[in-house]
């Protein structure tokens, strides 16, 4: 059971965003994906659920090539892969309960009572109480992110993809989200890929960290390996010191 990208290339017009990505995320681990803005992290993540198709290469989820599946097969894969969007992407015309229930309504054989119970359970898992009838615009940034996470876990996915889950949050709320990510892994056994710019968060939640740079994976390793790496681009990123990068050019 794993997510695997093999030699994935993707360009948008003349801009080569991904230039041959090889990556395997194994069952039960949390991998953080770091890199400069515009380095293609979100593009990479969207390949995994078939929102973007590669120009070349393969994306495999549990051994199934995402880009060769018919609609029904792709929907089955998508039920196994929850996606937490950067700004949550909650449906603003719906209540929080309906947002969380959206994915469940596409699961065959689930009765309404089970859906209602599952919605409550998911909201409780992300520590959101009494928000079922409220609308996304009525919630704070941190609550919206948690509601997005509740929606993503509603179908009990094996994998969770987080696109900058703590960006724009205050440090305390960011820590709350980090703990939720850890809880998803420890309590639900979810395999996760997390895009983040927050290195403290990455060190806290990750088993491994990979750095995407100029369309390729520049560095990948355990938290300790990353902390001890002397790669100039990685050090510049971690320490927020662009001069380290300039010294290599």
**Binding residues for other proteins, per CB under 8 A?**
46, 49-51, 71, 75, 78-79, 81-83, 85-87, 89-92, 102-103, 106, 151, 155
Beta partners for residue 87, in sequence order: none
Least Cβ distance, residue 108 to other proteins (angstroms):
10
Least Cβ distance, residue 157 to other proteins (angstroms):
10
Least Cβ distance, residue 81 to other proteins (angstroms):
7
- Distance (Å, rounded) from C-alpha 194 to C-alpha 204? 12
Least Cβ distance, residue 238 to other proteins (angstroms):
28
- Residue 16 structure tokens: 């080569």
Which DSSP string do the residues of 168-211 spell out, in sequence order? T--HHHHHHHHHHHHHHHHHH--EEEEE-S-HHHHHHH-SEEEE
- Distance (Å, rounded) from C-alpha 174 to C-alpha 210? 21
Coil, strand, or helix at residue 246?
helix
Q: Which is nearer to other proteins, 76 or 239 (CB)?
A: 76
- Distance (Å, rounded) from C-alpha 29 to C-alpha 198? 19
Cβ proximity of 23 and 219 under 8 Å: no
Q: Which is nearer to other proteins, 25 or 152 (CB)?
A: 152
Least Cβ distance, residue 114 to other proteins (angstroms):
17
- Distance (Å, rounded) from C-alpha 240 to C-alpha 36? 11
Q: Which is nearer to other proteins, 104 or 226 (CB)?
A: 104
Q: Please compute Rg for the chain using Cα positions.
A: 18
Least Cβ distance, residue 13 to other proteins (angstroms):
12
Least Cβ distance, residue 219 to other proteins (angstroms):
28
- Classify residue 139 by its DSSP letter: S
Q: Which is nearer to other proteins, 51 or 188 (CB)?
A: 51
Among candidates 43, 52, 59, which has minimal Cα distance to 5? Answer: 59
Q: Which is nearer to other proteins, 136 or 226 (CB)?
A: 136
* 38 backbone dihedrals φ, ψ, rounded to 5°: 85, 10
Q: Which is nearer to other proteins, 71 or 172 (CB)?
A: 71
Cβ proximity of 97 and 86 under 8 Å: no
Q: Which is nearer to other proteins, 90 or 193 (CB)?
A: 90
């Amino acid at each position: 059971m794993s997510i695997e990208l093999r030699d994935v290339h993707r360009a948008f017009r003349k801009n080569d965003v991904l230039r041959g990505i090889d990556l395997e995320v194994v069952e039960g681990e949390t991998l953080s994906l770091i890199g400069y803005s515009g380095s293609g992290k979100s593009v990479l993540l969207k390949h995994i659920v078939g929102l973007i198709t590669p120009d070349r290469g393969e994306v495999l989820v549990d051994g199934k090539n995402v880009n060769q599946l018919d609609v029904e097969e792709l929907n089955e894969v998508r039920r196994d892969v929850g996606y937490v969007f950067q700004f949550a992407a909650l449906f603003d015309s719906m209540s929080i309960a309906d947002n969380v229930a959206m994915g469940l309504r596409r699961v065959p054989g689930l009765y309404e009572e089970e859906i209602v119970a599952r919605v409550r359970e998911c909201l409780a898992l992300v520590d959101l109480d009494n928000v079922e009838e409220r609308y996304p615009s009525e919630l704070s940034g941190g609550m919206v992110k948690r509601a997005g996470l509740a929606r993503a876990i509603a179908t009990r996915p094996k994998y969770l993809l987080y696109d900058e889950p703590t960006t724009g949050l205050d440090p305390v709320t960011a820590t709350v989200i980090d703990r939720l990510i850890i809880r998803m892994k420890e309590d639900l056994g979810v395999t996760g890929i997390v895009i983040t710019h927050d290195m403290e968060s990455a060190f806290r939640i990750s088993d491994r960290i990979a750095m995407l740079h100029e369309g390729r994976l520049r560095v990948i390793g355990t938290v300790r390996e990353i902390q001890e790496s002397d790669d100039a681009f990685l050090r510049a990123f971690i320490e927020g010191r662009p001069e380290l990068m300039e010294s290599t050019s």
